[in-house]
Amino acid sequence: SPGRTRHINASRRACLVARFGFIYAQERFDAETLLRTYISDVEMVQRIIYTAAVESFYAAKMAYWKFKIHVKEALSLSHSGPESLEDTVLDYIVCHKDEYDVHASVKEVIRSMNINPKISFPPEIDFIVLSTLIQELCCLAFSMQTLIPPLDVAFGIDGELFNETKYYRSPDSDFTAAFVAYHVWPALVEDGVVIVKGEVVTKR
């Protein structure tokens, strides 16, 4: 029934939003601790993790789009209702998320990070050390695409005007500065509205 479907969607949404918060609070911190054994520059460490988060969402969204097309083509041959084909496809994906090839997405994220001019690693190590965090983020982002409406991370650029409805300032920020120097964690949005604030560093 529509009411039950809405309730299930709301329940899944709450769990996924909570998971996003846990990754920010714990797994991001663990990844930062790990990277700081290799890189002394805190800003670079935080830029790397932010990039990993944004790229993970992008890779998972692309994978979801391709997976959805594949499922739709397969189910359209036998679909007869009473649910719409779109709803049937969504139900299938929710029940078969384990068919998502998350390892392919992780490889895609690492490939994108390797060619990103804003971040760099010492030559003796590789972004693969962040595989656990990236995999968690990709799985989360993939699941968030199955919500109605889907959840996504907000687009952010260095130098943007600080927006207190979108971000928290990091403790080491200049709290009088009006512009974002760099991003620590992306905001989570639903239909363009921020539902979980991100974190940035503001400097003059």
Helix (H, G, I), strand (E, B), or coil: what is residue 84?
coil
Identify which has the larger pLDDT, 193 or 69: 193
pLDDT at 16 over 90: yes
Q: Per-residue pLDDT tens for 152-201?
A: 999 899 999 999 999 999 999 999 999 999 999 999 999 999 999 999 99
Query: Which residue carries 């988060």 as its tokens?
Result: 53
pLDDT of residue 85: 62
Region of poorest pLDDT, from 14-18, 28-32, 81-85 = 81-85
Tell me the C-alpha distance between 79 and 72, whole Å.
Answer: 10
Region of poorest pLDDT, from 6-10, 41-45, 77-81, 188-192 = 77-81
The pLDDT-based confidence of 98 (bands split at 50, 70, 90) is confident
**Residue (of 204, 198, 192) closest to 46 by Cα position:** 198
Q: Per-residue pLDDT tens for 106-143?
A: 999 999 999 999 898 887 778 999 999 999 999 999 99
Region of poorest pLDDT, from 10-24, 70-84, 130-144 = 70-84
φ, ψ of residue 65 in degrees (nearest 5): -60, -45
Helix (H, G, I), strand (E, B), or coil: what is residue 82?
coil
Average pLDDT over residues 66-78: 77
pLDDT of residue 1: 47
pLDDT of residue 75: 67
